[in-house]
């Protein structure tokens, strides 16, 4: 098992149900912890897609949509400062701030093969599916002169079948995540293109 294994299965405290930080405070945390623009953009993109998915596909209310957005916005917040303790540090920070368990468990399970935490609920399963695909799609957009404009699902699918393109992105994780979330890969790619293209 990876050294990133969290060796835990419960996160946060049930007493904190419904306790969330504001989006402004979450952005402040990102600004304080992450100087890499590209990494900040990645988290903003995942947050936008997570929020849109909650609202459009899960009929989430405002509070629930905020959980999805916060998990997306903070899931890699500790990556730059604490690469060897990635995931553990942000989880402990959110536990210190008495944040709702759903958000913390979602972040803890965003990479089951690295952190050893199984995605259980839909928010968990979707962050796992959206995270890797979002970065991959952004890489596919960046190499095009028109970026997201005219980027088609079939060209993303073709790049997924090209192992040398964005080679660090695990195709196995993507298939695993999509099958656990029970979503169509094609539909999810289109959804991500549509909802992250305007994020800067």
Q: Residues in the site for Fe ion, rule: CB under 5 A?
A: 76, 131
SS3 80: coil
**Considering the complex, what minimum distance in angstroms separates the CB of residue 132 from Fe ion?**
7
Rounded distance, CA 83 to CA 163, Å? 25
The residue assigned the tokens 């504001």 is 22
SS3 183: coil
Closer Cβ to Fe ion, 90 or 183, answer by number = 90
**C-alpha of 114 from chain center:** 14
The residue assigned the tokens 């979602």 is 106
Enumerate residues 6+ apart whose C-beta is below 8 A from 153. Answer: 186, 189, 190, 193
Closer Cβ to Fe ion, 131 or 173, answer by number = 131
Residue 129: how many CB atoms within 10 A of its CB? 28
**Considering the complex, what minimum distance in angstroms separates the CB of residue 39 from Fe ion?**
8
**Considering the complex, what minimum distance in angstroms separates the CB of residue 183 from Fe ion?**
18
Closer Cβ to Fe ion, 153 or 169, answer by number = 169
Closer Cβ to Fe ion, 37 or 149, answer by number = 37
Q: Answer for the pair 140, 169: CB distance below 8 angstroms, yes or no.
A: no
**Considering the complex, what minimum distance in angstroms separates the CB of residue 75 from Fe ion?**
5
Closer Cβ to Fe ion, 16 or 33, answer by number = 33
Q: Closest Cα to residue 41, out of 169, 135, 137?
A: 135
**Considering the complex, what minimum distance in angstroms separates the CB of residue 7 from Fe ion?**
21
């Amino acid at each position: 098992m990876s050294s990133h294994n969290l060796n835990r299965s419960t996160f946060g405290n049930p007493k904190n149900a419904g306790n969330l930080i504001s989006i402004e405070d979450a952005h402040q945390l990102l600004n304080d912890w992450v100087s890499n623009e590209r990494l900040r953009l990645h988290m903003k993109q995942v947050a936008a897609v997570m929020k849109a998915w909650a609202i459009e596909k899960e009929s989430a209310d405002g509070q629930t949509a905020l959980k999805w957005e916060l998990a997306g916005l903070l899931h890699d917040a500790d990556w730059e400062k604490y690469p060897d303790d990635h995931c553990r540090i942000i989880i402990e920070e959110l536990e210190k701030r008495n944040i709702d368990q759903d958000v913390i468990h979602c972040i803890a399970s965003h990479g089951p093969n690295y952190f050893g935490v199984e995605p259980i609920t839909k928010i968990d399963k979707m962050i796992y599916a959206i995270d890797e695909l979002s970065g991959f799609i952004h890489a596919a957009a960046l190499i095009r002169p028109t970026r997201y404009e005219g980027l088609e699902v079939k060209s993303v699918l073709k790049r997924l079948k090209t192992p040398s393109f964005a080679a660090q992105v695990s195709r196995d994780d993507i298939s695993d995540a999509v099958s656990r979330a029970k979503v169509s890969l094609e539909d999810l790619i289109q959804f991500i293109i549509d909802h992250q293209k305007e994020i800067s």
